[in-house]
Structure formats: structure tokens, C-alpha cells
Amino acid sequence: MGGIVILDHVREIIFKPELYEITPVNTLMFMPETTIEIGESMNDVAQKFYNSDKFNLVVLDQGKYVGFISRARVFFRCIGGCLKIFLMTNLQVFSEFSVL
């Protein structure tokens, strides 16, 4: 079984070199409860962020770690796309209104 190691789990031994050789990495690892598969839809990803209340989620490709994605990046991309559509629509309406 795989997992990830975060700084909070290493903090206790990082400045104690005598523990390096006797601390197996698997005792520091954990598998996050919520993960994202690389092919998931943005709707599913947004829902996972909402349900998990996490700020970062692990991204997997067929069960193997490929990275993290942040809530801010997902929502910025989603909101940015919506804002662009909103602005384009309003500019079009405004220009049509101005012509009249």
C-alpha cells in the first residue's frame, strides 16, 4: 500500500538523525480519504472539494500519485471561465443596446 508523507508527520524526526535509520517511511505515510483520478470531470472535482472541506487533493493516475491540485486553482479556473462568458455576454448585449 502506498501513501504520502507530509511535513507534520516528519517534523518529530527531522532534527533527530539518530531516528533516520530506525524510522520506516511507511510509519509516516498515509492515504488521503479523498483523491481525484486524472480523468474526472471538473464538476466531480469541485464536488469533492466541497464535500471534503480540504484545500488540496491528491491526483492519481490509475491509482498512482501524480500530484496535488488546490481548491483555489479549481475555483479560480471555474469562476474565471464563468466571468469571461458573463462579460462577453454583457458586452454583446451592451453593444446591441447601443446600436438601437
What is the structure's pLDDT at 1?
53
Mean pLDDT by 10 residues, the chain (100 residues): 81 90 90 92 86 91 89 74 52 42
What is the structure's pLDDT at 53?
85
Whole-model pTM?
0.64
For the domain made up of 32-99, the CATH class stated in words is: alpha beta
What is the structure's pLDDT at 93?
43
CA distance 100 to 85: 23
